[in-house]
Structures are given as structure tokens and as C-alpha cells.
Amino acid sequence: MAKKKCDQCKDEITTAFRVRHLSLHYAQKEWVFLCDDCLNEVKPNNSSYKYGGTWKA
Ligand SMILES: [Zn+2]
């Protein structure tokens, strides 16, 4: 089964949330993949947060 790595904690995950959460991500037009835990860390009160879809293995 294909897996992705969380860009923040580097855990291998089977469900990844495609998001932008830094102004850098907009400047570089890139998306990062996060696990559930990291998503909940970066999301609160983050005006740069943007959800781009969910990836499943
Ligand atoms: Zn993570």
C-alpha cells in the first residue's frame, strides 16, 4: 500500500491532508501533506490555512 509522509512530523500516513498553512506555501505555489495531528496543530487561528483536499492510500 502506498503511503505518504507527513511533511511536519515525518510519520508515514495513509490519510494525508493537502494544505497550505504558511505564506511561503502561497509564494512558492506549493502544498504540503499533513497527518491529522499536525493538521490540528497548524490549523487553529491560522489565516494562511487553506485546505486543498484529502489523499487516501
Ligand atoms: Zn504529522
Those residues whose beta carbon sits under 5 angstroms from the ion ligand 1 are 6, 8-9, 35, 38
- 4: helix, coil or strand? strand
Distances (CA, A) of 43 to 1, 23, 48: 28, 13, 9
| pLDDT value at residue 2 | 81
| Cα–Cα distance measured from residue 13 to residue 22, given in angstroms and rounded to the nearest whole number | 21
The CA 27 to ligand 1 mean position distance, Å, reads 22
pLDDT band for position 28 (50/70/90)?
very high
Domain 4-56 has CATH 2.10.110: yes
The CA 32 to ligand 1 mean position distance, Å, reads 11
Instruction: Kindly report the pTM of this predicted structure.
Output: 0.90
Query: What are the residue ranges spanned by the domains of the chain?
Result: 4-56
Tell me the per-residue pLDDT of 13-26, one tens digit each, with 9 for 90 and over. Answer: 999 999 999 999 99
| Cα–Cα distance measured from residue 39 to residue 49, given in angstroms and rounded to the nearest whole number | 10
